[in-house]
């Protein structure tokens, strides 16, 4: 018996030595591994893996999507940055130059966009002008055509319906202005500290279905209190139903995506002649390094991929809406508009070909009454988050926050409107399902931001591999 134990102990020791490198010394963990070693393989609640998303996004989708977003239709976004915060009065406005947003002058926006800011085509624009005229008269004018009267009633009903996940800006307000997104890029502005933390804390603490008795393991942007609280928090999260768990992961993924943008377009150097923007590796590590964030950073990055799959799925579902001959990317330049619609459809068909789409059929699939209640809670929580964006003190952060929240809300609206999309007529007004120009611009720009984040993760991975 003694010899047998000696043999077994020796065998275990030999295996340990072989597995641990020369003389039993563990190889050093690289900076890239500390951020990315856990960000691989299959995602929770999905049949897709990170590597498939990377290849699809970075080499097949990203370049064409960026080209589309540089076009006139998608670069001009109308937004009201002057809406007051509905939740507290002590909002501090950021005084930094990089927080400012430069709105467009009237002559900078194509006439076709200004005249059709609400709907998406020349036909729809003509209808909405008739609708607005009727509204000023106090009723549906009987002199309008029967089709137009029906459009007025249906669109009004739809816009007031429970299908919308965001509380959108009133773009007819005098305070709403067009912003050129290319001239006001999302990047690091210096907006941080208690004011910024307050926004994310309210979002996480009050709008992510989290019991008040459970503490988050980490502040949204910094390290936290230890492994025990982390395990308690995530054990609670894993115990949620798939819908509530997905809600948290969507918000966490959006937060992670924004932090990737800020780290990738960081003010590295400033002189009186120019500003140099680029990748700040230290900033990225502080937000996503597995050790510095006590394990939460890689979770955030995996949630970013989850968000990517959700919005990708929505775009694949809404293809029939954009394929309709009545739909235009209307700017007033017919040749340009036709070219961009062709590019848009190429991108959407590429998205539709993605082999491992998220399966949303598990959402709200239980008891009908309970499922409807859960869906309504889901929608109200998200609408509340859209209102919180008016409390962001940095105007550039507010701009991109409002756009990305509206884009995600539009994606959710699409996912929950599958039957309405399937029943759309091949031509003519679509009464049951439609998207405003604001929704379309925010949908594609929001997905463009996530697509950029996935691409930037590849850049950061390469940069970190050079750090020893």
Residue 410 marked ligand-binding: no
* 397 classed as catalytic: yes
Burial degree of 211 (CB within 10 A; 0-12, 13-18, 19+): exposed
Count of beta carbons in the 10 Å neighbourhood of residue 403: 23
Query: At residue 251, what are phi and psi to the nearest 5 degrees?
Result: -65, -45
> Among 236, 224, 199, which Cα is nearest to 391's?
199
The total number of residues written for the chain in this structure: 468
Residue 252 marked ligand-binding: yes
List the catalytic residue out of 104, 166, 208, 397.
397
Q: Which residue has the tokens 């009267």?
A: 149
Residue 187 marked ligand-binding: yes
Characterise 103 by phi-psi region: left (phi > 0), alpha (psi -120 to 50), beta (else): beta
* 48 classed as catalytic: no
Residue 437 marked ligand-binding: no
Burial degree of 422 (CB within 10 A; 0-12, 13-18, 19+): exposed
Count of beta carbons in the 10 Å neighbourhood of residue 436: 19
How open is the CA angle 324-327-330, to the nearest 5 degrees?
160
For residues 402 and 34, give the distance between their C-alpha atoms in angstroms, rounded to a whole number: 32
Query: At residue 77, what are phi and psi to the nearest 5 degrees?
Result: -125, 130
Give the pairing type, strands 266-270 and 275-278. Answer: antiparallel
> Among 58, 40, 57, which Cα is nearest to 49's?
40
Exposure class string for 235-255: b at 16+ Cβ within 10 A, else e: eebeeeeebbbbbbbbbbbbb
In contact, 296 and 224? CB cutoff 8 Å = yes
Residue 255 marked ligand-binding: yes
Joined together, the tokens standing for residue 18 give: 């072989």
List the catalytic residue out of 35, 94, 131, 394.
394
Count of beta carbons in the 10 Å neighbourhood of residue 284: 25
Helices (H) and strands (E) in the chain, counts: 19, 4
Residue 235 marked ligand-binding: no
Binding residues: 187, 189, 200, 252, 255, 287
Binding residues for FAD: 187, 189, 200, 252, 255, 287
Q: Give me the active site residues, please.
A: 394, 397
């Amino acid at each position: 018996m003694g010899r047998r134990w000696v043999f077994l102990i020796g065998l275990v020791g030999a295996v340990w030595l072989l597995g641990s490198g020369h003389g039993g010394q563990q190889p050093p963990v690289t900076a890239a591994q500390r951020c990315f070693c856990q960000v691989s393989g299959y995602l929770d609640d999905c049949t897709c893996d990170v590597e498939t998303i990377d290849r699809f996004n970075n080499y097949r989708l990203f370049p064409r999507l960026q080209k589309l977003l540089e076009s006139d239709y998608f670069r001009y976004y109308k937004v009201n940055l002057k809406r007051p915060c509905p939740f507290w009065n002590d909002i501090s406005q950021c005084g930094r130059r990089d927080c400012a947003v430069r709105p467009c002058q009237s002559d900078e926006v194509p006439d076709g966009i200004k005249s059709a800011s609400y709907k998406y085509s020349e036909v729809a624009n003509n209808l909405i002008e008739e609708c607005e005229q009727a509204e000023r008269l106090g009723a549906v004018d009987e002199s309008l055509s029967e089709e137009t009267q029906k459009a007025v009633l249906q669109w009004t009903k739809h816009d007031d319906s429970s299908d919308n996940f965001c509380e959108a800006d009133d773009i007819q307000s005098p305070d709403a202005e067009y912003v050129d997104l290319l001239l006001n890029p999302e990047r690091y502005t210096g907006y941080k500290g208690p004011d910024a933390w307050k926004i994310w804390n309210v979002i996480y603490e009050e709008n992510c279905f989290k019991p008040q008795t459970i503490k988050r393991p980490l502040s949204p942007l910094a390290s936290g209190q230890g492994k025990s609280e982390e395990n308690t928090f995530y054990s609670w999260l894993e115990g949620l139903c798939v819908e509530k768990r997905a809600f948290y992961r969507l918000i966490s993924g959006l937060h992670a995506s924004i932090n990737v943008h800020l780290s990738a377009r960081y003010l590295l150097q400033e002189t009186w002649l120019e500003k140099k923007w680029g990748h700040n590796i230290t900033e990225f590590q502080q937000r996503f390094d597995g050790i510095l964030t006590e394990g939460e950073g890689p979770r955030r990055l995996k949630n970013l991929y989850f968000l990517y799959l959700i919005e990708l799925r929505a775009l694949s579902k809404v293809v029939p809406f954009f394929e309709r001959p009545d739909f235009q990317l209307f700017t007033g330049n017919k040749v340009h508009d036709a070219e961009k619609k062709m590019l848009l459809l190429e991108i959407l068909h590429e998205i539709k070909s993605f082999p491992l789409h998220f399966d949303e059929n598990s959402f709200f699939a239980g008891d009908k009454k309970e499922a409807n209640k859960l869906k309504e809670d889901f929608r109200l929580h998200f609408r509340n988050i859209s209102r919180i964006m008016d409390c962001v003190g940095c105007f550039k952060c507010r701009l991109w926050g409002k756009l990305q929240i509206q884009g995600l809300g539009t994606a959710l609206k699409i996912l929950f409107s599958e039957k309405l999309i399937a029943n759309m007529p091949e031509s003519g007004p679509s009464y049951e399902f439609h998207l405003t120009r604001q929704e379309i611009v925010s949908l594609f720009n929001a997905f463009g931001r996530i697509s950029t984040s996935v691409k930037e993760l590849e850049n950061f991975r390469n940069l970190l591999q050079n750090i020893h």
